[in-house]
Structures are given as structure tokens and as C-alpha cells.
Structure 1
Amino acid sequence: MRVHRLLVPALVVLLLALGPAEAMAPGTEAVPGPSGLSKALQALLNGVQFGSVIAITAVGLSLVFGTTRLINFAHGELVTVGAVTAFFFNASAGGPRWPLILSTVLAVIAGALLGGLIELGLFRPLRARGTSLISLFIITIGLSLLLRHLVLILFGTSPRSYREYDLQRAWNLGPVSITPRDLTIIGLSVLVLLGVALMLQKTRIGTAIRAVASNRDLAESSGIDVRRVVLVVWLLGGALAALGGVFFGLAEVITWDMGFRLLLLMFAGIILGGLGSAYGAMVGSFVIGIVAQVSTLWFPIDLQNAWALLVLIVVLLIRPQGILGRRERVG
């Protein structure tokens, strides 16, 4: 029996069947409020939204690892740069104050360009000089610190919000409620993820990306331009990270370290889904997001990431390669 495929559905069924117990003092009247089922469904919906944001940002990180075997700690800063760039064009006092949709498009372009610049100006020359992967990993940590503190200097420490879609009346959809903004975030995230999946399966560049991720040397000997593929992956990863940053800032607030705070959950989603697998990153991210939000039914919100990481540990104990990962023989 494949226990890992039954674990998450079983947890969801259990959460739907059991609501969080609420104690009532003797002699007090019951106050009508959301039932346990409604709270569980609401938390599940919130988890889907949170997971969609994690998935958007994690896919690019997974593709970079799959094609270069580089663990990029600076990926979280690409998320922050996307959110901050959109804020500059949309709501900054010294900016043009353009509509958020146009600002998001410009932020995605900026994220893609920054990702391509990092590859062309830093990691490609370092790989050409034979720099080891562990050295490149240390460099990503330094790059992360540099970009994060540049954003701190330019953006400041105060949380900010976009001008549009900040306050909205929630729609009641049966036992759950959701704002049009959050529903749009979920819908657009799913469409983008489906687009990435179709690109990987139906296009030549997608086939080349999968070939390089599977076996770089064999792909190169087959005539695939590996350097071009890696550059495309960095451009795509930067664009997706920037888009996820805008969604994250729209759902919550924009801060100078928001990408760094999301980075641990991105890594958790990638490892849970299977290292180097874009589809695994999508599935793992949704699981992490759902578990993090559903755990708040019983436990303080400060512990939501801890419970998500606990599920990661449990799944890896059962299936070390992750949900969609492949077994690899070492030695």
C-alpha cells in the first residue's frame, strides 16, 4: 500500500469530520457561530490559497535545481523584488502609480531580467571556472544577504500595501467565504501552474528542460544547448518568483524580508514533492500550505510552519524521495 498517497486525504477527511472543540462556561448561552465543519472548510480554502502562492514561487526554484543542481538561497529575494517593484509602480509616492495589473506585468519582467542577469553575470562564469556546487551554494547565501539589505535600504522596514484591492467584501460560498481578490489569486495561480505544466510537456523548450533535468550530459551529447536551457530556466524562475511575490504581497502585506520568510516553505514544498520535479514542487507546496493553515484550528498561528515541516518529516520517513520523486541509487 502506498501510504503517502493516503496520508493527506486521510488528514483532510479527519479535519472535515472533527471540528475544533470549543469550551463553554456553565450558565452561558450558546452564541451562534461557524460550525466545526465550516471552520475546517474555511481553513482548507485558506490553505489552498497559501499553497498556490508557495507553488508559484517554488516551481522556478525547483527547475533551477533540476537543471543546475544549485540550491539557490537567493530565490526568496526574487520574490521580494517582484513585490517591491510592483509596489513602486503602483503605490509608491515617487512612482507613476499605475494600475496594479500593469505594475504586476512590469514586476514579472523585472524578475525575469534579474534572474537572467544573475545567471549570465554570476553563475555561468563561475561554472565555467569549475567552481564547486558547495561554493556556489555559499555564494547564493551571500547574494541573498546582499539583495535583501539592498531592498531594506530602498524600501524601508515599514509594511506597505498596494493601492487597489486592499479592502473587499467577502463572498459567502456556502459554508466558506472568500474575497474576490483571494479567489483571483487562486484562479490565476492555478492557470499559471497549468501553463507551466503544458509548456514542460508540449513545447520543445519544455522537453529540453526535462531532458537536462533528467541527464545533463546525455542531453548535451544529444545536441541540446544546455547553456540556453539553463538561461531560460533562470528567466522563467525569476518571472514566477516575482509573480508569486505580488500575489503574496496582495494577500498579506509587502515587507523587505517577505521572500526570506517564504523561502523555508518553498524548500519544504520542493523536498516534499520530490527534488528537481516541477510537478512535485506544485503538489508539495499545496500540501504544505493546507497543513499550515488547517493547523491553526487547534494550535497558535505562530506554530503553523512547524506543523507543515512536521508533515514533511513524516512523509519523508515513509517515502524518502518525496511524493513524486524518483528513487536514486547512491554509490
Structure 2
Amino acid sequence: MLWRAPAIALLALILGFVGLSLQALPAHAATCVPDATTGCVQGIVKTSAGDPASGVGLTLTGKGASEDTTTDENGRWSFPITQEGTYEVALDTATLPEGQFPRATDTRSVEVALFESASALFPLTDDPDAAATPTAPGSGETAGSGSGEATPGDDEATTTTKPSATNAFSWPRFWQQAASGLRMGLLLALGAVGLSLVFGTTGLSNFAHAEMLSMGGILAFLAMQLTGNIWLSGALVVVVMAAFGWVQDAVLWKPLRKRRLSLTQMMIVSIGFSIVLQNIFQFFFGANILRIDPSTPKTVTLAGITLTVQSYVAMGIALVAIIAVALVMKYTRFGRATRAVADNRPLAEASGIDVDRVIRSVWTVGVALAGLSGVLLGLVLNGIAWNTGWHYLLLLFAAVILGGIGTTFGAIVGALIIGLVIEMANIWLPGDLKHAAALLILIVVLLVRPQGLFGRKERIG
């Protein structure tokens, strides 16, 4: 068949790309991966010259726990926690490299929730006169405040942590959480658009779509090992993911459609494909968190809202991509053809539209957008793991269903609502209930409007 030669060539290209990248892959110590029952306290220790400080001892205390660890060859360390709350991280100054001293403090307090990560960084100095006075246990500086502001005079010492839901309401915190929700919504929208387009044109609920997010982030990490340029790496990932979407439809989904498999059977195939991809990712990368950008995140405060530079850049890229998709779907021939196929496939075929070509293009664009979403998520979360996409699968489906299944604009609006609800819920609810709040909103909306916000009513039976 015509698709076999390019499919084989692309597969060989991807395998070669992964092989070369794995050769350049630095060794990583086992890293904490947050999930529904685990939170992570982590950070990195570097010398005043910017080199990793390995073998430095740290101690975590709090919630009746006390754990010790040392930094790996990259200066990284992490602690898993199973109870959300406030913990104290103490730096063992006796294990610091010779001539290095803690610049601000040797003890920090962090607030961390389950399914989240909190960072505590310890900048070092080679000037003993500028060294911090040893801190008494229990009096460590807070590694993140509700507004995400760093300790004065120590701009790079901390990164923003999400405040506990037990904190009192304040308008600065409200706007901070709203900004975080907008960030989450924009990144979800990139993934939700592709999922919605595929469903609209084929009727398939693609459970493997979330793995496209993971794959995009992982490929960005590998590309950074080869190029060292984040912009070039991101562009390469989008191109490779677009090609992978094209191959997916040519090799897997179109043959299944030709064999007239039911949508239920194809959905089960997508679940199996998702599991296969997850196992491949885990086999090659284990439980490591892969940091696309190895530099220490820096925060910027605009209008009282503090986010990392990566977050602002990711939001800008996501916004531009979403606007571009909306314009294409509204004003181009491809957009009109896609809407026609989604509305009435037999009529679209009768009017001369090449339905197979439209579906192939939808897979290409949808997977490319999901890959871009994975890259941006990896930058915002300061790392990507083999199961990152799986954690967002339910939210992607919630966004698509809330906005109206099969509608591009509905997926965008639904994703923004889901993102805002998740982050805003942190103001009043514990962190482990924020996803429940978003799904509760989904249920309420569907009770009032079963077709979703932008969906059309359909007669059943």
C-alpha cells in the first residue's frame, strides 16, 4: 500500500532519534512522581559556580515523619510524602562541597498537597561573610507563599507552591489561583481540541490521546539532549508528532474503519494502544521525571501575579496556537470540510468532500496539538513522566463533554472552565478534592444541558 513506505521510514526515523537520544541521556536517580496518593518535595543544589553539588545531605521532617536523602550527580533530591501539609527540609551543611555555604538559609518549610510537587532550593555562596546563620529546627523559612513570592533578596531560592486550602480567602490569592487556572485551561485546550476533532469526524473516543501528551514531552526531553535549544526542540516535536498522527491513521485507524469495526471495538483498541505506549515509556525511562529545561525556574511577578517564566511563555504559545486553530476551523476550506464531515458524513461525501483525507488531516493536526501540549506541560510542571498524560485523560474528556462533543470551540471553552475550576477550588477545598469539584460542575451542566455548552440536541430512539 502507498502508506507503507513513508510509515516504515518514519518509524525508522523515530527509533533512530530515540536511540541517539538515549546514548546522550544523562543518568538520573529515582525521582518522586506525584499521584493521587503521593506528593513530592524536591529541589536542586548547585554550587556558587552553577555546578551540581552531589552527595549533599538533606532531612525532611513533618507529619510524624523523618527522612534523609542525598543529592544525586545532578544535584537533585526528592522526598515522597503521603500526607499533605507543612514539612521542613534541612540542609546538612557539613556535607556541602568545600568552600560552599548556604546563602539564605539552611532550613526551609514547604506546603505540599497530594498529586502536587513543592520545591525548596538552597542557593550556595563561596563567601563565608555572606553565609546564612544556621537555623534552629522548626524555624525554617517558608519555601512558597500563597502569592508565590520568593524570600526578599533570594529570588531564585524558591519556586511557587500551591497554598493549602485551609488558608483564609484573599483577593491576591484569588487572582493568583485564577491565573493558574487560566494556564491549566490553555494547556488542556490544546489536547482537548484534537480529542474533540477526532470524535467529531470519526465518532471514536480515543483513550490513547492522553499518551500523545506524554510522548510530546518525552520527545522534547530527548530533543533537548541532542540540540540543547528549547525552541528548536519544540518545533521538532510538533513536526514528529504530526507525522506520528498521520501514520497512526494510515496504519491503525483507517484499516479498522475499512473493516467496519464498531466504535466500541475501536475504543477498546485505543485503550490497548494507550497501555502499550505507557509500558514503552516506562520501559525506557522508568519512574524518572524528565526535565525538558534543566535550568532553575525563575519567577516573574506581573500585576501581583507570580508565575515562572516558563509558565508565561507556555501560556502565550498555547494562546497563539488556539487562536490559529479557531481561525482555521472558522475561515478555511479545511475547517469547513471538517465541520461538514462532523455534521453529516454521508452528505459530505455526496457533495464531493474527500472524507478520508479530512480524517487523516484531523489526526495529523490533533496529535500535533497534543504533542505541543505535552511540551508545554513539561515546561510548566518542570518535568514530564511516563504517566503524565494519563493523569490528564479524565480532564481532557471532561473538557470535551462539557463544551459539547465534537465541537472545536466547545472543547476550548470547556477546557478553560475545567482549568479555572480546578485551581480556584484550591481556595476553599483541600487539594485532593479539586478534580472532584471540576467533575461536579460537569455533572451539573449536563443535567441542565445534556448536549454540552456548544453541542446540538440530538434525538435518541
Q: TM-score range by the shorter chain?
A: 0.7 to 0.9
Per-residue deviation at 1:297? 1.0
5+ unaligned residues in a row in structure 2: which ranges?
1-144, 148-168
1:205 matches 2:334: yes
* 1:73 paired residue among 195, 207, 218: 207
Q: Which residue of 2 aligns with 1:326?
A: 456
1:130-279 residue pairs with structure 2 within 5 A? 130-163=260-293, 166-168=296-298, 170-252=299-381, 253-279=383-409
Q: How many angstroms does 1:112 deviate by?
A: 1.2
The reply on whether 1:288 has 2:418 as its aligned counterpart is yes
Counterpart among 420, 425, 437 of residue 307 in structure 1: 437
Give how far 1:164 is off.
5.0
Q: Aligned partners of 1:165, 1:303: CA distance in 2, in Å?
A: 32
Change (3 A) 1:128 1:207: same
**Distance in structure 2 (CA, Å) of the matches to 1:231 and 1:33:** 46
Q: TM-score scaled by structure 2?
A: 0.62
CA distance in 2: counterparts of 1:63 and 1:243, whole angstroms: 16
Residue matched to 1:85: 219
Counting helix residues as a fraction of each chain, which structure ranks higher? 1
TM-score of the superposition, structure 1-length normalised? 0.86
Alpha-carbon distance in structure 2 between the residues aligned to 1:70 and 1:166: 41
Letter of the 2:288 counterpart: S
C-alpha distance 233-33 of structure 1, shift in aligned 2 (>3 A):
closer
Task: Name the SS of the counterpart of 1:96 in structure 2.
Answer: helix
Q: Which region of structure 1 is more displaced relative to structure 2, 120-129 or 175-184?
A: 175-184
Q: 1:75-114 to 2 correspondence within 5 Å?
A: 75-90=209-224, 95-114=225-244
Q: 1:40-79 alignment to 2 at 5 Å?
A: 40-79=174-213
* 8 Å CA contact 2:293, 2:379 repeated in 1: no
Shift of 1:33: 7.8
Structure 1 unaligned residues grouped into runs of 5+: 1-31
Residues 297 and 133 from structure 1, CA distance in 2 versus in 1: closer, same or farther, beyond 3 angstroms? Answer: same
Greater relative contact order, per chain length (Cα 8 Å cut-off, separation 6+): 1
1:179 Cα shift? 2.6
TM-superposition CA deviations, 1:104-160 (whole Å, max 9, x none): 111111211221111110111111111111110110000000011111111221112
Q: Which amino acid aligns with 2:337?
A: A
Letter in 2 for 1:41: W
RMSD between aligned residues = 1.4
Q: Which residue of 1 aligns with 2:104?
A: none
Percent identity for Structure 1 against Structure 2: 42
Query: Which structure is larger by alpha-carbon Rg, 1 or 2?
Result: 2
**1:171 shift after superposition:** 2.3
CA distance in 2, matches of 1:45, 1:215: 39
Deviation at residue 166 of structure 1 after TM alignment = 4.2
Q: CA deviation at 1:175?
A: 3.0
**Residue 167 of structure 1 aligns to a residue in which SS?**
coil
AA aligned to 1:224 is I
